Amino acid sequence: MITISIVSPQKSMDAIDRAIAQKDFGCIFHKYVYDHLEEIESIYEQCKDSSDVIFFSGELGNSYMLTHIDNIQVPCTLISYEEKHILSILLNFVLRYPHIPLNRVYIDFLTPVNDFMNLKNYLGPDFMPYVFENPVYNYNTLKERAEELWNAGKIDIMLTRTTNQLGVLNRLKIPYIHILPSEDMIRDSIKSAVNAIRLKQKNQSSKLVILIKLIYPEHITSMDREYLEITLHKYLLDFRKEFQYEFAIHSVSNRYELDMDSDLYRDSFERIQDMIAYLDQKGDLEFRLGAGFGKSIGESHYQAERALQEAIKYGKNDGFIIHGEDNILTGPLSLTRTLNYSYSNTKALAYSQENGINESNLLKIVGLFQMDEGSVITAASLSQWLNITSRSCNRILQQLLDSGLIEEIESQKQEGKGRPTRQYRFIRQKFIQTFF
């Protein structure tokens, strides 16, 4: 029988208990309650050998697991909020508190990890609530953000899912509304986890899962939204026919899931590159693609979700793929040369948190080192790999320079007037000691 380990703060666990009390899911539940995120590491050691899936009550615990535990052996999932849930929460809030404008509200569960639930597509900048934008996602950074906004007089209230922070908010005297998922949401999330595990157990051959997310223009009408979704579906059918690739297409909200058997990673890689190029050349869709290549549908789907988040952060019509037991992430896939880097690199992840460098950006720089240790780096060249501004790249390069991880070499003189371009190269021994 399927075994699900539920990992949650106590208050959220109470809500989960109520949701599952009256329904037989055909599985065994093991329950683990934590007060501090650091406890999740010991919980994982307790349950990894007896669990088919680890089920978190929210994104914070799930995110901690993904960033702090090396070589995770068990698929992880969580109670997922969709756009419709967020819109419903905001509608109820507006009806209940008409005197508080949304731009005076802080929502701590809208984060870069969930792409802020696409809320900016529904609300203009004058109406947008404050969101959590720090790449370092833990109790302390959540508290700092709430305290910062409250002390600055920018908010009147906050909406929070962070159960274990309620005592902190009370001490800080910050008004809040604690948001708990509905019983239907909890049950649906558990059913999805059970179904994914059943598929995994049923089919152990190598699987390729591709997730394609549509990016909608601001202030799009429902009719135009539907048109874009239909257009993407048609393009996928045309691609399948033209390239003669066999795959199943499933539509969920604003994204599509493609499933196919594939015994050869290289073949899969080339298929995805073909697909990205095909969709991009159409010119009328903005999309992000994430792919996972694992031994089962469940594992591949888990990898594809993580790869999709990377593509969203990258911010272009492009894609990434995660594959292998070490969760190697490769991309951007449209480029002739692609970076390979692993979220299992605990040294790099620790360095990113300690030094305030976005973990994804740092892992890409590590991947750049692995690809070509002797490469000459400039802010402009790094900007192409990271898809961030040259100014932001200069800040990262300065941090690496101060840490002795890179060194400045002779600057490249520009034609005409202007400052010479600053150039850097990796300090090999120091880089290896720090990140490997």
Q: Of residues 360 and 321, which shows the higher confidence score?
A: 321
Q: Band of the pLDDT at 295, cuts 50, 70, 90?
A: confident
CATH number of the structural domain 203-342: 3.30.70.270
Task: Report the alpha-carbon angle 294-299-303, nearest 5.
Answer: 80
Q: What is the pLDDT of residues 219-236, one digit of tens each?
A: 888 889 889 989 999 999
Residue 250 burial by Cβ neighbours in a 10 Å radius (0-12, 13-18, 19+): exposed
Common-topology check for domains 2-78 and 346-435: no
Its CATH class, for the domain covering 2-78, is alpha beta
Q: What token pair was written down for 259?
A: 């499933």
Q: What is the pLDDT of residues 49-64, one digit of tens each?
A: 888 899 999 888 888 8
CATH architecture group of domain 346-435:
Orthogonal Bundle (1.10)
pLDDT value at residue 264: 59
**Across 88-116, average pLDDT:** 90
Choice among 71-80, 140-149, 416-425 with the minimum mean pLDDT: 416-425
Q: What token pair was written down for 229?
A: 């979704």
* pLDDT exceeds cutoff 60 at 96: yes
Q: Of residues 407 and 255, which shows the higher confidence score?
A: 407
Q: What token pair was written down for 268?
A: 């899969």
83-178 is a CATH 1.10.3720.10 domain:
no
Choice among 7-21, 30-44, 105-119, 141-155 with the minimum mean pLDDT: 105-119
Q: What is the pLDDT of residues 174-200, one digit of tens each?
A: 999 999 888 888 998 898 888 877 766
Q: What is the DSSP string of 37-97?
A: TTHHHHHHHHHTTT-SEEEESSHHHHHHHHHHSSS--S-EEE----HHHHHHHHHHHHHH-
Position 45, amino acid: E
> Domain-by-domain residue ranges, the chain?
2-78, 83-178, 203-342, 346-435
